[in-house]
Amino acid sequence: MAKPIVLIAEELSPATVEALGPDFDVRSVDGTDRPALLAAIADADAILVRSATKVDAEAIAASTKLKVIARAGVGLDNVDIKAATAAGVMVVNAPTSNIISAAELTVGHILSLARHIPAAHAALAQGQWKRSKYTGTELFEKTVGIIGLGRIGALITARLQAFGVKVVAYDPYITSARAQQLGVTPVSLDELLEQSDFISIHMPKTPETTGMIGAEQLAKMKPTASIVNVARGGLIDEAALHDALVAGTIRSAGLDVFVSEPPAPETPLLALENVIVTPHLGASTDEAQEKAGVSVAKSVRLALDGELVPDAVNVAGGVIDPLVRPGIPLAEKLGQVFSGLATAALTSVDVEVRGELVDYDVKVLRLAALKGIFTNVVSETVSYVNAPLLAEQRGVEVRLIAAGASDEYRNLITLRGALADGTQISVSGTLTGTKQTEKLVEINGYDVEVPFAEHHIVMVYADRPGIVAVYGKEFGEAGINIAGMQIARTEAGGQALSVLTIDSPAPDALLESVRTAIDAQLLREIDITE
């Protein structure tokens, strides 16, 4: 069987290829050579890029096999995420690969601004000894304002606190408890601008944050203050910043990012002595590049194996809490049981989570359930990316419900759905014991407790004596071993539900024979695909 093809479109660290391992056919192409890229991507299962290769709608459409686009870095400006999602292609990046490098560069800019290091170096290199001109300022007992107290902001805070500074922060999403944990004083944006001697901005670039530091905000800063941007170009209005620096509204600025990169040589900011600039070096360390490559290589392996990828950006990815993670395969298996019981097209499904898990982000369980529902239903490969698309294309309404406590279990995941023929289906599962054993605990209102296996038989029939002997004899004579069995009923003499786990698949003829022998209202074999 041919190995999946992984296309590397830019220079990545040797550790990246090592992390992919021997299971892939790794090929290389110059991603900036458009004809070569389109030809090479045609039969690729995955492509790894940095920032120079544009993976747009045309490139995505050029391949019928592409399953994952991996960007060895943080930004995704060169990837058409919307086109990838529409094509069912997962997009992954390495969101934490450069956070230490970016934090350290920010501290470097602040120190350089405080002590005029680049200008003093340039003057001395030209034979000029200007000690008095480059008298600086200490960081000790100064106030540093952090705009955006995410992962990078927190790292900068920890590093600057060693200098004896006071850190204030503006972040509308940070809790007071988190701020206290970091040793930071939360303030409004205006308060931060007015109090800070040095300001560093670490916000994502969105329509709301673009230009968030403009003329009005710069005017509120101290005339002795400095501002640094190592995050995204455009967060600071460059024209307003230039005017403020020329007018002496603020003292200096350090910039690693620009609205247009590279900035034109005639860009006014580049000519100012009180500006320190670097060419977008936030992630430009050997360590960050290696971390990014290894991270996305691992994501590619997961994606091509059909597993959940925590760093996928076009699905509910992100960090998955360790308490939630064991529920992912359980939800997927419940989805397979759910679709195995369906007698008509699905019109709606609720993924309900109860118990301790409701205190965590459980969006991933909705994805896992949908992946399970469609795995054995559609001909195409189902992933965590295209499962929601498959539901949308089929007009299936999907809801995630975090419903509070469970009366019987620490955690309970339930799938409830409506079918086009008017019938309802429900299945529930839980994890038990120290080994987190996956168990099926409810089917259509019948209480059971059956560990998941590879092959299951679900039967509903009129409760009466001798039925177990009848189907036991049928399976025995066919050489099908029954590994486990549980029977549930709502009342004596009513309907009974029987769940069997069997060691091998049952032939269709055998299932029909059993159905006839016990006059079953429902008889389904449900095979679980890992």
Active-site amino acid positions:
232, 261, 280
CB-based contact 497:463 (threshold 8 Å): no
Task: Please count the other Cβ atoms lying within 10 Å of the Cβ belonging to residue 395.
Answer: 11
- Measured distance CA(133)–CA(124) in Å, rounded: 12
CA 298 to chain centre: 13
Cα 55 to Cα 79: distance, rounded to the nearest angstrom: 5
State which amino acid sits at residue 173.
Y
Distance CA(325)–CA(333), nearest Å, equals 14
Task: Single out the residue of 381, 383, 310, 371 nearest to residue 92, CA to CA.
Answer: 310
Specify the pairing of strand 397-402 against strand 346-355: parallel
Q: Where are the alpha helices (DSSP H) in 200-285?
A: 215-218, 238-247
Q: How far apart are CA 110 and CA 177, in angstroms?
A: 27
Q: C-alpha angle 458/365/310, rounded to 5°?
A: 135
Q: CA 472 to CA 18: how far, in whole Å?
A: 52
The radius of gyration of the chain's CA atoms, rounded to the nearest angstrom, is 30
**Cβ–Cβ contacts within 10 Å for residue 113, how many?**
24
